[in-house]
């Protein structure tokens, strides 16, 4: 997994907790923590960090990955500000992640394996997103989708239609309402 994902998770932990908590997590997970955005690191390091965080906080692993995904979004989005700003909202942006951002990641780093999404409009407010990846990180995707909605000031509801924790996960993402004041 690319270092940028570790950098984003680090930023999430520091914002939610503190630098000290991140250092404690690195120690507990037995990993170096020297993640450069372009480097490639074993997925097992990410898993070790999550398990250490579960141990430390007592929060359920799935819930924690979702929260970390949500708060990792700003770091990732900061790398493509023009695409974020040019998007009409969460649904539109998710299509750009699949059609532009992840393919670009792949072009720059042929060793990366970002997930693939399929889309289907269910109704005016609901987009069905099918996540596909051998990494089985649909729960991280769910957190990132919440993070995207936060960025666009949209209140969304995500229904897991099938397959959470599997290679193919289907989500129905319904945009409920604009968050007042945004
Ligand atoms: C501007 C925003 C984004 C950037 C720059 C970005 C970039 C990346 C990069 C570099 C990876 C690592 C791939 C690898 O090392 O093999 C990755 C993985 C991933 N991305 Fe994105 N991404 C963005 C937004 C999103 C969003 C909104 C979602 C959610 C729908 C998402 C879902 C994922 C997931 C779940 C992975 C983990 C790998 C996997 O499941 O196979 N990303 N992304």
User: Does CATH number 3.90.1520.10 belong to domain 3-76?
Assistant: yes
Determine the distance separating the centroid of ligand 1 and the alpha carbon of 114, expressed in angstroms.
6
The confidence score (pLDDT) of residue 3 equals 96
Residue 148, pLDDT > 70, answer: yes
Residue 177, pLDDT > 80, answer: no
pLDDT in tens, 91-124: 999 999 999 999 999 999 999 999 999 999 999 9
The dihedral over CA atoms of 16, 173, 80, 135, expressed in degrees to the nearest 10, equals 80
pLDDT in tens, 9-58: 999 999 999 999 999 999 999 999 999 999 999 999 999 999 999 999 99
Q: How many residues does the chain have?
A: 182
pTM of this structure: 0.95
How many C-beta atoms surround the C-beta of residue 168 within 10 A?
14
For ligand 1, say whether the CB of 173 is within 6 Å of any of its atoms. no
The confidence score (pLDDT) of residue 111 equals 92
CA dist., res. 48 & res. 165, Å (int): 17
Query: Which residues are CB-contacts of 88 (< 8 A; sequence separation ≥ 6)?
Result: none
For ligand 1, say whether the CB of 133 is within 6 Å of any of its atoms. yes
Determine the distance separating the centroid of ligand 1 and the alpha carbon of 102, expressed in angstroms.
7
Determine the distance separating the centroid of ligand 1 and the alpha carbon of 19, expressed in angstroms.
24
Determine the distance separating the centroid of ligand 1 and the alpha carbon of 43, expressed in angstroms.
13
Mutate to test the pocket of ligand 1, among 105, 109, 150 (most ligand atoms within 8 A of CB): 105
Which residue intervals of the chain bear CATH 3.90.1520.10?
3-76, 89-178
CATH code, 89-178:
3.90.1520.10
Q: What percent of the chain has pLDDT over 90?
A: 96
For ligand 1, say whether the CB of 137 is within 6 Å of any of its atoms. yes
């Amino acid at each position: 997994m690319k270092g940028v994902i570790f950098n984003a998770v680090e930023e999430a932990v520091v914002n939610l907790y503190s630098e000290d908590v991140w250092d404690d997590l690195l120690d507990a997970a037995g990993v170096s923590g020297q993640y450069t955005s372009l480097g490639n690191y074993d997925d097992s390091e990410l898993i070790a960090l999550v398990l250490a965080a579960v141990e430390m906080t007592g929060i359920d692993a799935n819930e924690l990955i979702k929260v970390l995904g949500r708060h990792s979004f700003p770091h990732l989005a900061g790398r493509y500000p023009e695409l974020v700003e040019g998007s009409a909202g969460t649904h539109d942006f998710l299509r750009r992640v699949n059609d532009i951002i992840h393919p670009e990641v792949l072009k720059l780093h042929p060793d990366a394996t970002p997930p693939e999404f399929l889309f289907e409009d269910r109704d005016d407010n609901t987009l069905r997103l099918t996540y596909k990846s051998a990494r089985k990180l649909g729960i991280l995707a769910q957190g990132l989708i919440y993070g995207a909605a936060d960025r666009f000031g949209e209140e969304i509801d995500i229904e897991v239609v099938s397959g959470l924790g599997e290679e193919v996960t289907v989500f129905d993402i319904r945009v409920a309402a604009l968050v007042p004041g945004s």
